[in-house]
Amino acid sequence: MSEKIIIFDTTLRDGEQSPGASLGAEAKLKIAGQLAKLKVDVIEAGFPASSPGDLLSVRTIAEKTKGPVIAALARCIKKDIDLAVQALEPAVKKRLHIFLATSAIHRKYKLRKAKQEILRLAVESVKYGRRFCDDVEFSPEDASRTEPDYLCQVVEAVIEAGATVVNIPDTVGYATPVEFGKLIMTIKSNVPNIEEAVLSVHCHDDLGLATSNSLSAVENGARQVECTINGIGERAGNASLEEMVMILKTREDYFGFRTGIKTKEIYPASRLVTTLTGIHVQPNKAIVGDNAFKHEAGIHQDGVLKEKRTYEIMSPESIGLKESRLVLGKHSGRHAFGKRLEGLGYKLSEKDMLKAFERFKRLADKKKEIYDEDLTAIIEDEISVVPETFKLVYVHTTSGSQTIPTATVRLKKEGKIFQDAACGDGPVDAAYKTIDKITGLGAELVDYSLRAVTSGKDALGEVTVRIRKGKKVSIGIGTSTDIIEASAKAYVNAANKMGRGSSLAL
Closest CA to 22 of 50, 43, 62, 64: 50
Q: What pLDDT is recorded for position 297?
A: 60
Lowest mean pLDDT across 57-71, 160-174, 384-398: 384-398
**Residue 221 buriedness (CB in 10 A; 0-12 / 13-18 / 19+):** middle
The answer to whether residues 199 and 115 belong to one domain is yes
Query: In whole angstroms, what is the distance from residue 351 CA to residue 450 CA?
Result: 30
Q: Please say whether the beta carbons of 439 and 450 come within 8 A.
A: no
Which of 230, 248, 277 is at the close of a domain?
277
Lowest mean pLDDT across 157-171, 313-327, 371-385: 371-385
In a domain? residue 288: no
- Domain with 350, as residue range(s), is 294-381
Beta bridge partners of 480: 461
Lowest mean pLDDT across 315-324, 328-337, 492-501: 328-337
Residue 301: which pLDDT band, with cuts at 50, 70 and 90? low
> What would the mean pLDDT of 476-480 be, rounded to a whole number?
85
In a domain? residue 459: yes
The answer to whether residues 241 and 366 belong to one domain is no
> What would the mean pLDDT of 461-489 be, rounded to a whole number?
86
Q: What pLDDT is recorded for position 497?
A: 77
> What would the mean pLDDT of 380-389 be, rounded to a whole number?
60
The answer to whether residues 415 and 318 belong to one domain is no
Lowest mean pLDDT across 70-74, 305-309, 313-317: 305-309
Q: What pLDDT is recorded for position 331?
A: 67
Lowest mean pLDDT across 265-279, 367-381, 392-406, 443-457: 367-381
Q: What pLDDT is recorded for position 82?
A: 98
Residue 30 is inside which H or E element, if any? helix 25-38
Which of 277, 309, 339 is at the close of a domain?
277
Output the CA–CA distances (angstroms, integers) from residue 290 to 109, 236, 284, 352, 355, in the order listed. 43, 20, 7, 33, 31
Q: Please say whether the beta carbons of 184 and 152 come within 8 A.
A: no
Q: What pLDDT is recorded for position 350?
A: 79
Rg (CA), the chain: 33
pLDDT at 383 over 70: no
The answer to whether residues 299 and 362 belong to one domain is yes
The answer to whether residues 254 and 145 belong to one domain is yes
Which letter does DSSP use for residue 317 in this model? G
> What would the mean pLDDT of 428-451 be, rounded to a whole number?
91
Query: Does 425 or 306 have the greater pLDDT score?
Result: 425
In a domain? residue 299: yes
In a domain? residue 287: no
Output the CA–CA distances (angstroms, integers) from residue 504 to 202, 361, 466, 500, in the order listed. 80, 34, 17, 9
> What would the mean pLDDT of 460-487 be, rounded to a whole number?
85
CATH of the domain at 40: 3.20.20.70
Query: Does 343 or 24 have the greater pLDDT score?
Result: 24
Q: Please say whether the beta carbons of 495 and 476 come within 8 A.
A: yes
pLDDT at 158 over 60: yes
Q: What pLDDT is recorded for position 216?
A: 98
Domain count, the chain: 3
In a domain? residue 283: no
Beta bridge partners of 43: 9, 70
Residue 147: which pLDDT band, with cuts at 50, 70 and 90? very high
Q: Please say whether the beta carbons of 166 and 199 come within 8 A.
A: yes
The answer to whether residues 268 and 300 belong to one domain is no
The answer to whether residues 166 and 272 belong to one domain is yes
pLDDT at 414 over 80: yes
The answer to whether residues 140 and 213 belong to one domain is yes
pLDDT at 373 over 60: no
Who contacts 427 (Cβ-Cβ below 8 Å, separation ≥6)?
Answer: 397, 398, 399, 405, 407, 484
pLDDT at 329 over 70: no
Q: Please say whether the beta carbons of 78 and 89 come within 8 A.
A: no
CATH of the domain at 415: 3.30.160.270
pLDDT tens, 232-275?
999 999 999 999 999 999 999 999 999 999 999 999 999 999 98
Which of 381, 411, 434 is at the close of a domain?
381
The answer to whether residues 346 and 420 belong to one domain is no
Q: Please say whether the beta carbons of 395 and 409 come within 8 A.
A: yes
The answer to whether residues 266 and 341 belong to one domain is no
Residue 468: which pLDDT band, with cuts at 50, 70 and 90? confident
Q: Please say whether the beta carbons of 107 and 113 come within 8 A.
A: yes
Q: Where are the alpha helices (DSSP H) in 131-265?
A: 148-161, 177-190, 210-219, 241-250, 252-255
Q: Please say whether the beta carbons of 184 and 150 come within 8 A.
A: no
The answer to whether residues 134 and 200 belong to one domain is yes
Q: What pLDDT is recorded for position 503?
A: 37
Q: What pLDDT is recorded for position 505?
A: 46
> What would the mean pLDDT of 118-147 be, rounded to a whole number?
98
Q: Quick one: CA torsion of 102, 107, 112, 117, rounded to 10 degrees?
A: 40
Query: In whole angstroms, what is the distance from residue 79 CA to residue 83 CA?
Result: 6
In a domain? residue 129: yes
Considering 6-15, 292-301, 393-402, 443-452, the range whose residues carry the highest mean pLDDT is 6-15
Considering 209-223, 343-357, 458-472, the range whose residues carry the highest mean pLDDT is 209-223
In a domain? residue 135: yes
> What would the mean pLDDT of 457-462 be, rounded to a whole number?
72
Parallel/antiparallel/unpaired status of strands 257-258 and 3-4: parallel
Query: Does 199 or 351 have the greater pLDDT score?
Result: 199
Query: In whole angstroms, what is the distance from residue 172 CA to residue 192 CA?
Result: 28
Q: Please say whether the beta carbons of 392 and 399 come within 8 A.
A: no
Lowest mean pLDDT across 88-92, 205-209, 294-298: 294-298
> What would the mean pLDDT of 141-169 be, rounded to a whole number?
98
Q: Where are the alpha helices (DSSP H) in 278-401?
A: 298-306, 334-343, 350-364, 372-382
> What would the mean pLDDT of 482-502 be, rounded to a whole number?
82
The answer to whether residues 409 and 460 belong to one domain is yes
Backbone angles phi, psi at 415, to 5 degrees: 85, -10
Q: Please say whether the beta carbons of 283 and 289 come within 8 A.
A: yes
In a domain? residue 259: yes
Average pLDDT of the residues of the chain: 88
Q: What pLDDT is recorded for position 315?
A: 86
Q: What pLDDT is recorded for position 418?
A: 95
